[in-house]
Amino acid sequence: MRVVLAEDLFLLRDGLVRMLEAYDFEVVAAVESGPELSKALAELEPDVAVVDVRLPPSFSDEGLQCALAARRARPGLPVLVLSQHVEQLYARELLADGSGGIGYLLKDRVFDADQFIDAVRRVAAGGTAMDPQVISQLLDRRAQDQPLGRLTPRELEVMELMAEGRSNTAIAAQLFVTERAIAKHTSNIFGKLGLPPSDDNNRRVLAVLAYLDRD
């Protein structure tokens, strides 16, 4: 699996390259700035991009904007964004097109190799990988708002794990219930969030987007 990595801190960038290669990823480019990232994504067409939000020259949201531009040029390009802090707006922008292949991970999480690599693989496969701290903060902020306020406590638990990118099988195992029970909860969540069956939209992604929507 071919990866483009963007991180301005040399030691972290070098560590991520070594970690990815140890798990049989091919790092085709490891860059440190926005312009280099844009060039690498356009020319190398990687299977997944792992991108720091803040890159030179602006050190604002350069990395995120480069990744979003690349997804517009190549719809569905899997992107895993790394951030130092939870930024709701960044997470919303990533999910705004309603498609999969996106992730938002706090940098502290990269020190857990298994968790980081699992997130990269899920995003590359077209799924979502939202940091648990991101989802937790959004839950705290939005749980009383409609239509999220209609979800039961158990449905909120399922929604949180779904937003992290977990499959029904993984959610069932973590909550010690059957897959059939999770399928029922998931169906209820979709119904309460007004997400009817569709061949065109990823309802799991749209459900996550409901958490990130604000008035």
Q: What is the pLDDT at residue 137?
A: 66
Encode pLDDT of 80-118 as tens digits.
999 888 776 777 777 776 677 888 899 888 888 998 999
Sign of CA dihedral 51, 17, 163, 202: positive
Q: The sheet that has 79-83: what strands, in order across it? A: 26-31, 2-6, 48-52, 79-83, 102-106, 128-130
Encode pLDDT of 166-209 as tens digits.
889 999 999 999 999 999 988 888 888 777 776 555 677 777 76
Say if residue 126's pLDDT is above 80: yes
Could you tell me the residue ranges of all domains in the chain?
Answer: 2-139, 147-213
Encode pLDDT of 28-70 as tens digits.
999 999 999 999 999 999 999 999 999 999 888 899 899 989 9
Say if residue 149's pLDDT is above 60: yes
Say if residue 128's pLDDT is above 60: yes
Q: What is the pLDDT at residue 214?
A: 41
Q: What is the pLDDT at residue 167?
A: 86
Q: What is the pLDDT at residue 150?
A: 77
Helical H runs in 50-178?
62-73, 88-95, 113-124, 132-142, 153-163, 168-175
* Residues 41/17, Cβ–Cβ less than 8 Å: no
Kindly provide the b/e burial profile for residues 114-148, where b requires at least 16 CB atoms within 10 angstroms of the residue's own CB: eebbebbbbbbeebbbbbeebbeebbeebeeeeeb
Say if residue 157's pLDDT is above 90: no
Helix/strand/coil for 142: helix
Strand partners of residue 198: none
Question: Going by CATH, does the domain composed of 147-213 fall within 3.40.630.30?
Answer: no
pTM check: above 0.85: no
CATH class of the domain comprising 2-139: alpha beta
